């Protein structure tokens, strides 16, 4: 099982229907007519990613202090500097971390942050369309 945090997506759905895709639409900027582009507002990722990953990594790696220190602390130290989203992408594209990586996908049109049950965090940029069930 994986959990994704959507950072951007595009939908053709009516604006009111599209709001049912995200839990809190106020966290996103929405633009467009016909097709709507949703992007996480600047600062949301910077304000919350460090705290989220600190808890997440502790849940997975607290039993292995050496692994935590070697693999998670460098990521948390980097995120503590409040990098921009572009700086985050640059960091993970360097490929120096086993627990903060890029997930390559060809079947989605949504940038996401994936939290895996293996304790890894992967950011995903993709090209095609997701299908959402609107209830």
SS (H, E, C) 52-64: HHHHHHHHHHCCC
**Is 47 within the bounds of a domain?**
yes
Q: What is the domain count for the chain? A: 1
pLDDT average, residue stretch 32-41: 83
Mean pLDDT, the chain, as a whole number?
78
3-state per-residue secondary structure call for 92-122? HHCCCCCCEEEEECCCCCEEEEEEECCCCEE
Residues 6+ apart with CB under 8 A from 7: 39, 40, 45, 85, 110, 111, 112, 113
Structural domain for 16, as ranges: 2-125
- pLDDT tens-digit readout, 87-134: 988 888 888 888 887 765 444 456 777 787 778 888 776 554 444 333
Q: What is the residue whose two structure tokens read 């293996």?
A: 118
CA distance 43 to 83: 10
- Tell me the pLDDT band of 79, cut-offs 50, 70 and 90: very high
Residue 39: its pLDDT value, please?
87
Q: Is residue 78 part of a domain?
A: yes
Whole-prediction pTM: 0.66
**Range of weakest confidence among 29-38, 49-58, 110-119, 126-135:** 126-135
Joined tokens for residue 58: 């502790």
Question: Lowest-pLDDT range, 42-46, 75-79, 113-117?
Answer: 113-117
């Amino acid at each position: 099982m994986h959990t994704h945090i959507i950072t951007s997506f595009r939908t053709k759905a009516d604006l009111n229907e599209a709001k049912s895709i995200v839990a809190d639409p106020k966290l996103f900027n929405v633009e467009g007519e016909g097709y709507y582009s949703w992007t996480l507002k600047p600062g949301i990722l910077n304000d919350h990613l460090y705290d989220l990953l600190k808890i997440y990594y502790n849940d997975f790696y607290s039993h292995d202090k050496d692994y935590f220190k070697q693999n998670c602390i460098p990521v948390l130290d980097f995120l503590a500097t409040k990098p921009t989203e572009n700086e985050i992408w640059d960091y993970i594209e360097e490929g120096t971390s086993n627990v903060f990586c890029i997930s390559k996908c060809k079947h989605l049109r949504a940038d996401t942050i994936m939290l895996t049950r293996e304790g890894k965090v992967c950011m995903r940029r993709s090209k095609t369309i997701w299908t959402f069930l609107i209830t």
